[in-house]
Structure 1
Amino acid sequence: MISKWQADDTRPVLRFSPYAWAKLLYFRDKGRTEIGGFGITETNDLLYITDFITVKQNVTSISVSFDDNAVADFFEAQVDFGRKPQQFARIWCHTHPGDSPEPSLTDEDTFKRVFGHCDWAVMFVLAQDDSAYARLSFNTGPKAQIMLPVRVDYSKEFNGTELPIWEKDFKENIQPIVFTTAAAGLDKSKQLSLLQLYVVSKNG
């Protein structure tokens, strides 16, 4: 379960601002499918997520498929905001509609294929019962995998909820599809192709 951030806790922790956490919960609970997006962080605190941003995607109860053009627009907008790739293209967040946050084999394949060329990356999964999974991967030098506790950090100022904006984003970006044999092909192993190219060419 998620706990509050304690100021004297020095372990590596993936932290969410209350705003980012509330937004993630809103998107998770709005439908009955998986939802995918990116964690946005501060320049000097890359494990502190201040926002959760989705892009246009096709979703089912077991899959997320991002629209390449939407990913490109997202990257361009983030660069225009003055952010670097490690602030917006290193933490992959998605939800599971069931009660298990454990990554699927497809999750693992996607994380390795898309983010394996980054110097570091985080896979975060949030289940319906608020159980969470977070793993930090170092892919250069002595490679390592570190499990991260997940907490909501109330120690900093944060914005209030923006439900009308979140609802608009949900309607525009989240496209549920009827699960069929053909739809099963829209899994995460086929997604994020443009992201893969971006993080390789802009690694840093």
Structure 2
Amino acid sequence: MANVTKSLTELQKSDKYQRALSLNLDCGSDTLRKLIDTILDSKNVTLKKHLQDVAVQTKLNQLKKRKIIYSEQLKQLNSKKPDLLCMDISLLTIVLLELISTTTTQVSNITKLRQKRNELAHMSRSQLDDDIPFNEASQIITDLSKDVSPEFESEIKIQIQELKRRELVCTHSNLDVVKLHNESLMVKLVEGGEDVKGKI
């Protein structure tokens, strides 16, 4: 019986980790995409047109030279039809922190959300003892959703509550974790170099 209890506890810890990971990768990505759309719409410009801007292209070249952006990510941004739905959360973060004008509060929240992802990526095991990482990331995502629209904020809150109520969250692939490790490594490289204001 003791072994069964321990097994259930291990499963619950793994479930908390997968729930936090899903929150960051799914709800987090959706929120960043919507935020990008909202900012660009307010300027009456499409994603493609914005990315083709001379100043943005100059910035992209700088990011490439500083090895802040991968070749594959650069291809996505410079494709004939750049699509936010095809961009992972790491690239969405780069777009918001480096290529689009955001408020100080937005920059702070996006940076904190990235930090939460990196903390998950560097855990020794895919387990969590509590819901603190989930709750902290939930608040950050909710705060960012407020800058999109009241309707989207309500939608995200519902998604978060549904995710929180799930007894078992489908595991993400090892590739997702590897991507988080790569993002975390890139942040460390940047922070260890010249002053780039902690952005990647």
TM-score normalised over the length of structure 2: 0.31
Higher RCO, 1 or 2 (CA under 8 Å, sep at least 6)?
Answer: 2
TM-score normalised over the length of structure 1: 0.31
Higher percent of residues as strand:
1
